[in-house]
């Protein structure tokens, strides 16, 4: 099978996209052969604003039903593959939208939310993000984890502090993930995960999606798709070929205002970080270039069977487990 044929035949899942939602993006997803993606609908928003985001996203999916379908189950992912469309799974990058109401967890599950990150960079009612002193998982946070386990929402720890992450991993009865992270073994950064953290989540049945966000890569904006592939290989050497997938963190279509909102606490308060210029690695600058990743992994000697796992099969398996199918 040629790289193009393998990519076209594979289930391709992106574990985190926070791009600007519009038809142009959906067209690029199809060009890239993307079977499904975890699409962010909440970061700093509370309950009402998040519901509004979901309502707008649902309408966008309906209006572009020739390109995309909603995903609530792994059967929907396979259905998207069969129909030649991209499945859209709603995800949060912050548990802030749950506010202080445990009952909201099930409400959002019923609205199609399948993955929720416990904290986004800073403290919330659940625990602590990666940009401040980590107080660990709160008592309320333990109840939220239990409720997410019950209704079938995956706990994501990508932007979460180390101690809070460890306690969520131990608390959860279902697999948890870093949906989009890079190894600090290749670059020290508050958002990157140590070899020990990567091994710990894998040893406890968890999952790692590897990102290509340039500020977290060793060569920054000078990175290429080979640098991204190197990071995937580095992580796989720690967690194994069954606990790894893709989580690009594509921000396609967004301008500087969006990054200002992301990098300030609550979207408006203190500055947490400054990314500077953001350019995706050469060779995978847009979602439409996804086939290049399959080709690059093959070129670097990864077996076809393993490439299929990394590109999407592993995500399907772990989501099936978490969603209780």
pLDDT at residue 165 tops 90: yes
Q: Which residues pair with 178 in a beta bridge?
A: 208
Q: What is the pLDDT of residues 105-135, one digit of tens each?
A: 999 999 999 999 999 999 999 999 999 999 9
DSSP 146-164: HHHHHHT-EEE-TTB-HHH
Q: What is the pLDDT of residues 49-102, one digit of tens each?
A: 999 999 999 999 999 999 999 999 999 999 999 999 999 999 999 999 999 999
Q: What is the pLDDT of residues 181-202, one digit of tens each?
A: 999 999 999 999 999 999 999 9
Is 34 in contact with 17 (CB distance < 8 Å)? no
- Tell if the pTM clears 0.85, that is, is over it: yes
Place of tokens 């699409």: 39
Using DSSP, state whether 189 is helix, strand or coil.
coil
The per-residue pLDDT of the chain, averaged, comes to: 97
Is 42 in contact with 94 (CB distance < 8 Å)? yes
Is 283 in contact with 225 (CB distance < 8 Å)? yes
CATH code 3.20.20.140 for 3-323: yes
Is 158 in contact with 164 (CB distance < 8 Å)? no
Q: Quick one: what percent of the chain has pLDDT higher than 70?
A: 100
Q: Quick one: what percent of the chain has pLDDT higher than 90?
A: 98
């Amino acid at each position: 099978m040629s790289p193009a044929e393998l990519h076209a035949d594979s289930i391709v899942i992106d574990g985190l996209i926070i791009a600007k939602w519009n038809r142009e993006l959906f067209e690029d997803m199809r060009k890239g052969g993307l079977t499904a993606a975890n699409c962010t609908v909440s970061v700093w928003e509370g309950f009402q604003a998040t519901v509004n985001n979901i309502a707008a996203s649902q309408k966008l999916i309906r209006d572009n039903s020739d390109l995309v379908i909603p995903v609530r189950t792994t059967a929907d992912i396979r259905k998207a593959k069969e129909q030649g469309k991209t499945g859209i799974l709603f995800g949060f990058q912050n548990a802030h939208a749950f506010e202080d109401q445990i009952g909201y967890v099930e409400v959002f599950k019923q609205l199609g939310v399948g993955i929720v990150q416990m904290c986004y960079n800073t403290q919330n009612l659940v625990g602590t993000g990666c940009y401040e002193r980590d107080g660990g998982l709160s008592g309320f946070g333990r109840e939220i984890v239990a409720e997410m386990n019950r209704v079938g929402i995956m706990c994501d720890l990508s932007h979460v502090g180390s101690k809070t992450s460890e306690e969520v991993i131990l608390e959860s009865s279902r697999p948890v993930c870093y949906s989009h992270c890079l190894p600090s073994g290749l670059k020290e950064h508050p958002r990157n995960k140590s070899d020990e953290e990567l091994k710990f989540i894998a040893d406890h049945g968890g999952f790692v999606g590897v990102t290509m966000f340039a500020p977290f890569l060793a060569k920054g904006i000078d990175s290429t798709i080979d640098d991204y592939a190197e990071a995937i290989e580095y992580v796989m050497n720690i967690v194994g070929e069954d606990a790894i997938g893709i989580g690009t963190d594509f921000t396609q279509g967004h301008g500087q205002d969006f990054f200002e909102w992301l990098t300030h606490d609550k979207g408006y308060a203190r500055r947490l970080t400054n990314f500077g210029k953001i350019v995706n690695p050469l060779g995978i600058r847009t979602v439409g270039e996804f086939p290049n990743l399959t080709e690059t992994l093959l070129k670097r000697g990864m077996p076809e069977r393993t490439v299929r796992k990394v590109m999407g099969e592993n995500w399907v398996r772990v989501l099936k487990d978490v969603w209780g199918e």
